[in-house]
């Protein structure tokens, strides 16, 4: 019983210390930038004397690094020479995995699944994106390899663009799969209006970092963001490699 109480006190103290550190970092960065900054995480890194700071921003999380004494801020990548791992990329991947998991139940998508689905990816797509169209031209090949694809929309021109309107038209069509295929092949889709998730999908893409890399953006189950088109066999090899880890 005493051990349980001690453990509970230690966990509570740790949480309080973490919250205090986040609050302190938020105040410091707010004063430095002249605007309100919200720090959501303060993490140790494998690099001695350097902390990782995760900042909540309008366009997803921003990651910066700070010396333990609080005297220096570093913006950019930190790479472990021995392993080749980019610490910033790894944190972004982890945050993206959490983000997609948080939206898993509520995320609406247009799905192209094989009969026997072995692997799954989420693709942020744009109707007018050339490489998005190339990816969709080969959707049967992805499915033949056992890869299921869930499409969500990310109109690159924003929420007041022609691409956004086309995404709405596809979503509101009676046969969404056929409408998407027709739209991506350059066909005209009947203008339609209905309740739709295009805005929320776009905002999710912002949080996931899609605006930084463009479309198509392929999100793997571990949170990895694959930039651009990837041939079916290459994607299968990457997914197989992921399963082996």
Residues in the chain, total? 245
Domains in the chain: how many in total? 2
Question: Is the separation of the CB atoms in 206 and 59 below 8 Å?
Answer: yes
**Domain termination residue (choose one: 89, 118, 149):** 89
Shared domain check, 235 and 117? yes
- pLDDT tens figures, 148-195: 999 999 999 999 999 999 999 999 999 999 999 999 999 888 899 999
Model confidence band, residue 217 (pLDDT cutoffs 50, 70, 90): very high
- Name, in order, each residue with C-beta under 8 angstroms of 135's C-beta and a sequence gap of 6 or more: 123, 125, 216, 229, 230
pTM of the model: 0.85
Model confidence band, residue 42 (pLDDT cutoffs 50, 70, 90): confident
- pLDDT tens figures, 46-64: 888 999 999 887 777 889 8
Domain that holds residue 120: 110-244
pLDDT at 69: 84
pLDDT exceeds cutoff 80 at 7? no
- pLDDT tens figures, 67-121: 888 888 888 899 989 888 899 999 999 999 999 999 999 999 999 999 999 999 9
Shared domain check, 168 and 130? yes
> Does residue 175 have an active-site annotation?
no
Shared domain check, 131 and 187? yes
Model confidence band, residue 22 (pLDDT cutoffs 50, 70, 90): confident
Q: Which residue in the list 93, 96, 126, 128 is annotated as catalytic?
A: 126
Question: Is the separation of the CB atoms in 88 and 225 below 8 Å?
Answer: no
Q: What order of strands is seen across the sheet that includes strand 60-67?
A: 38-44, 50-57, 60-67, 73-74
Shared domain check, 218 and 117? yes
User: Prior bond to 196 cis, omega within 30?
Assistant: no
Exposed, middle or buried, 45 (CB in 10 Å: 0-12/13-18/19+)? middle
pLDDT at 171: 98
Q: Which residue in the list 132, 133, 165, 172 is annotated as catalytic?
A: 132
CA distance 95 to 54: 10
Q: Which residue in the list 93, 133, 156, 172 is annotated as catalytic?
A: 156
CA distance 125 to 149: 11
Q: Which residue in the list 96, 129, 133, 165 is annotated as catalytic?
A: 129
**Domain holding 59: CATH number?**
3.10.450
> Does residue 172 have an active-site annotation?
no
pLDDT exceeds cutoff 70 at 40? yes
Model confidence band, residue 1 (pLDDT cutoffs 50, 70, 90): very low
pLDDT exceeds cutoff 90 at 4? no
DSSP 79-99: B-TTT--BHHHHHHHHHHHHH
pLDDT exceeds cutoff 60 at 211? yes
pLDDT at 235: 98
Shared domain check, 128 and 230? yes
Shared domain check, 71 and 123? no
> Does residue 93 have an active-site annotation?
no
CA distance 213 to 228: 8
């Amino acid at each position: 019983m005493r051990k349980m109480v001690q453990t509970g006190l230690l966990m509570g103290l740790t949480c309080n210390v973490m919250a205090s550190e986040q609050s302190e970092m938020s105040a410091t960065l707010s004063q430095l930038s002249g605007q309100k900054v919200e720090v959501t995480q303060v993490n140790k890194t494998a690099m001695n004397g350097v902390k990782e700071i995760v900042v909540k921003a309008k366009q997803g999380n921003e990651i910066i690094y700070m010396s333990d004494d609080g005297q220096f801020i570093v913006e950019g990548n930190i790479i472990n020479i021995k392993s080749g791992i980019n610490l910033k990329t790894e944190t972004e991947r982890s945050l993206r995995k959490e983000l997609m998991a948080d939206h898993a139940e509520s995320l609406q998508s247009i799905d192209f699944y094989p009969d026997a689905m072995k692997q799954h990816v989420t693709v942020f797509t744009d109707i007018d994106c050339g490489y998005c169209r190339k990816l969709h031209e080969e959707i049967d090949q992805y499915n033949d390899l056992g890869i299921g694809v869930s499409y969500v929309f990310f109109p690159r021109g924003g929420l007041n663009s022609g691409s956004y309107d086309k995404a709405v038209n596809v979503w509101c069509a009676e046969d969404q799969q056929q409408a998407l295929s027709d739209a991506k092949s350059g066909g005209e889709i009947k203008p339609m209006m209905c309740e739709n998730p295009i805005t929320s999908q776009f905002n999710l893409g912002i949080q996931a970092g899609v605006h930084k890399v463009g479309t198509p953006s392929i999100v793997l189950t571990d949170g990895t963001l694959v930039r651009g088109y990837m041939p079916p066999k290459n994607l299968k090899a990457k997914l197989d490699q992921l399963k082996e880890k």
